[in-house]
Amino acid sequence: MIRNIFKGIKAYAGSIGMISKLGLWKYFGIPILISIVVATIVLVSAYTFADDFGYYFSKLWIWDWGKETFFFLSKILSGILILLVGIIIYKHVVMALSAPFMSPVSEKIEAHLLGVNHHEFRKTSFSEQLWRGIRINMRNLGMEILLTIPILIIGFIPILGFVSTILLILTQGYYAGFGNMDYTLERHFSYSESIKFVKQHRGLAIGNGIVFILFLLIPVIGFILVLPLSVTAASTETVALLKAENKLKIHGA
């Protein structure tokens, strides 16, 4: 799995070149706008509600001494927790709403990599792609939250905090990469088949998703480039996997 994680990360190296070569930048306008709007909502929410949640957390401190310090720490912790939940929600909302725009990008990359003008895949409409994106990402959102809660609890246990951080990064990465891979898989697999395929290649999903998460740490530019680069990287590696496992039906090769 470690080898596949590095493959997923390495795939980003040629993403900008691929996008420019195939003239794909025009497809990312609306997804980038969606990304910026959702990211703004998350950041504003974290800043706005940190004081409120910090106030309620500070009520747990029943002593007078150190009350101001505890409130300050509670406010910071609240902001971090809101931001963490916001990032989880952000990526799934953005990937779900961007599905109809990312699927054509993935299709063009697939055609280019296979060197064919026509190959068989499931024909889907704009609304079907949108519904598929919503369905996949809402399923992943639920799973990620269920896994994240116990991981955060583990983080409060002395010594295990480091393990919690690693598990959190792997979990976040896996579900981000999952969404990016599905833009290609939706043309070839059903909903359940796609889930099974990603589970079998979770290392690739994690590698792709780790870089996705790291991009979100870059102010402004990260939210602009995260989708174009992550989707392109995921598409190239997913197509390579499908081809290697003979799961592509090609005509005109």
Residue at 92 is within a domain: no
pLDDT at residue 116 tops 70: no
Kindly state whether residue 24 falls inside one of the protein's structural domains: yes
Please write the tens of the pLDDT for every residue from 187-201: 999 999 999 999 999
The overall average pLDDT reported for the chain is 87
| Stated pTM of the model | 0.87
Residue 252's pLDDT band (boundaries 50, 70, 90)? Answer: very low
* Element of type H or E holding 118: strand 118-120
The answer to whether residue 94 is domain-embedded is: no
Q: Quote the number of domains for the chain.
A: 1
Q: Residue 54: how many CB atoms within 10 A of its CB?
A: 19
Asked if the structure places residue 199 within a domain, the reply is yes
Task: State pLDDT tens for residues 142-200.
Answer: 999 999 989 988 877 877 778 888 999 999 999 999 999 999 999 999 999 999 999 99
Cβ neighbours for 218, distance < 8 A, ≥ 6 positions apart: none
Q: Tell me, what's the pLDDT at 27?
A: 92
Comparing 56 with 108, which gets the higher pLDDT? 108
Q: Is 223 part of a structural domain of the chain?
A: yes
User: Residue 93: pLDDT above 90?
Assistant: yes
Locus of tokens 């697939």: 110
Does 204 score more than 80 pLDDT? yes
Residue 62, both tokens: 């029943």
Reply yes or no on whether the pLDDT at 251 is more than 70.
Answer: no
Instruction: Tell me the pLDDT band of 249, cut-offs 50, 70 and 90.
Output: low
Express each pLDDT in 2-50 by its tens digit: 889 999 999 999 899 999 999 999 999 999 999 999 999 888 887 777 6
* Residue 172: Cβ-neighbour burial (10 angstroms; 0-12, 13-18, 19+): buried
- Token readout for 45 is 């929410």
- With respect to residue 53, please indicate whether it lies within any of the assigned structural domains: no
* Residue 177 pLDDT: 96
pLDDT value, residue 169: 92
Task: Please choose, from the candidates 180, 164, 169, the residue with its C-alpha nearest in 3D space to the C-alpha of residue 99.
Answer: 180
Task: Give the structural domain span for 247.
Answer: 2-37+100-251
Q: Mean pLDDT throughout 110-126?
A: 73
Compute, in degrees rounded to 10, the torsion defined by CA atoms 121, 126, 130, 132.
Answer: -30
Residue 188 lies in a domain: yes
* 219 within a domain of the structure (yes/no): yes
